[in-house]
């Protein structure tokens, strides 16, 4: 089996601040870093480091080769990444406070200019049993989800950044809908009849995560592991990528949740996004010392 990911690729500019700025406030950063990011790229790094064959579908500008080199180094199949000469590679401005919380501004650039005809050709290899990952930072989400479902693949949609119209456009093709609990509450208010998917994966920050099987009614809870956070950026992406890889590798839901939770916990102890996602060996070593 394999994971395919139509996902954003960003260059993250990270500014460490004493607190997040108020409107009209000017603040001097006491730290700066530049690294690999984008919810999509982060999920691909997580899935590949978890040990799954991972194809990244997405787009970048013509330069920034170091980004592709870093994805290659993580073991991701990068041949389908579109290089669009008239577009800038997406980037994110990430403000990080002393409590490791963040505020993020993104410039989508190439992520929202994907060539749909080429994407459809590149998705032709997706097979029954494969997984397609999507997040809400690229164009062509419904088209990719529809093509993947038609070929018998399962679709996991991370509704982040949350936008109700974007969720509704992709929902008919989604198998598992992933979101945080605030977004799940917004969706429930807008859609009291339910989203019509097989399952929902709800992340709850320090309270852990929950997988709701909407066909059987079964609910699996996974508590969060206690760590000292330094940077929460990309923790949700790490969770989603590791969870998908767990399912891809035949783990049951409870096992995949524990694996994903361990990976996300380790991630928040490290600065950065894509570059900070732990390897499978690191996650297994961490989990060996955690309560069952
Ligand atoms: O989820 C974290 C990611 O969101 C960052 O890496 C940033 O690029 C934005 O896409």
- Per-residue pLDDT, 101: 87
Pocket test for ligand 1, best of 14, 92, 110 (most atoms within 8 A of CB): 92
Q: Does the Cβ of 35 fall within 6 Å of ligand 1?
A: no
- Per-residue pLDDT, 49: 98
Q: Does the Cβ of 92 fall within 6 Å of ligand 1?
A: yes
Examine the pLDDT at 292 and tell me if it is beyond 90. no
Task: For residue 18, give both structure tokens.
Answer: 């004493």
- What is the number of the ligand 1 atom nearest to the C-alpha of 160? 1
Q: Domains of the chain (ranges plus CATH)?
A: 3-9+37-89+108-287 (3.40.1190.20)
- Per-residue pLDDT, 291: 85
How many Å apart are CA 86 and CA 6, to the nearest integer? Answer: 20
Distance 171 CA to ligand 1 centre (A): 22
- Per-residue pLDDT, 100: 86
How many Å apart are CA 151 and CA 237, to the nearest integer? Answer: 25
Q: What is the pLDDT of residues 79-118, one digit of tens each?
A: 999 999 999 999 999 999 999 889 999 999 999 999 999 9
- Per-residue pLDDT, 213: 98
How many Å apart are CA 178 and CA 170, to the nearest integer? Answer: 13
């Amino acid at each position: 089996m394999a994971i395919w990911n139509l996902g954003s690729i960003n260059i993250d500019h990270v500014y460490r601040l004493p607190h997040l700025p108020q409107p009209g406030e000017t603040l001097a950063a006491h730290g700066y870093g530049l690294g690999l990011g984008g919810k999509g790229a982060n999920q691909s790094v997580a899935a590949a480091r978890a040990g799954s064959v991972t194809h990244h579908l997405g787009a970048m500008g013509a330069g920034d080769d170091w980004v592709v080199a870093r994805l290659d180094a993580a073991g991701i199949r990068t041949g389908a990444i579109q290089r669009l000469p008239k577009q800038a590679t997406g980037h994110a401005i990430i403000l990080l406070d002393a409590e490791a919380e963040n505020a993020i501004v993104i410039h989508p650039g190439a992520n929202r200019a994907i060539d749909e005809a080429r994407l459809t050709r590149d998705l032709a290899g997706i097979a029954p049993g494969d997984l397609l990952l999507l997040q809400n930072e690229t164009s062509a989400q419904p088209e990719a989800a529809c093509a993947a479902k038609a070929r018998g693949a399962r679709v996991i949609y991370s509704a982040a950044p949350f936008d109700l119209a974007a969720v509704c456009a992709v929902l008919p093709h989604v198998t598992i809908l992933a979101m945080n609990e605030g977004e799940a509450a917004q969706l429930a208010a807008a859609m009291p009849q339910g989203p019509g998917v097989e399952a929902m994966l709800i992340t709850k920050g320090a309270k852990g995560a929950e997988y709701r099987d909407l066909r059987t009614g079964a609910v699996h809870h996974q508590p969060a592991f206690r760590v000292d956070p330094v940077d929460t950026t990309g923790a949700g992406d790490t969770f989603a990528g590791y969870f998908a890889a767990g399912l891809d590798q035949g783990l049951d839901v409870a096992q995949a949740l524990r694996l994903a939770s361990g990976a996300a916990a380790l991630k928040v102890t490290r600065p950065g996004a894509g570059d900070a996602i732990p390897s499978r060996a690191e996650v297994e070593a961490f989990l060996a010392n955690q309560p069952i």
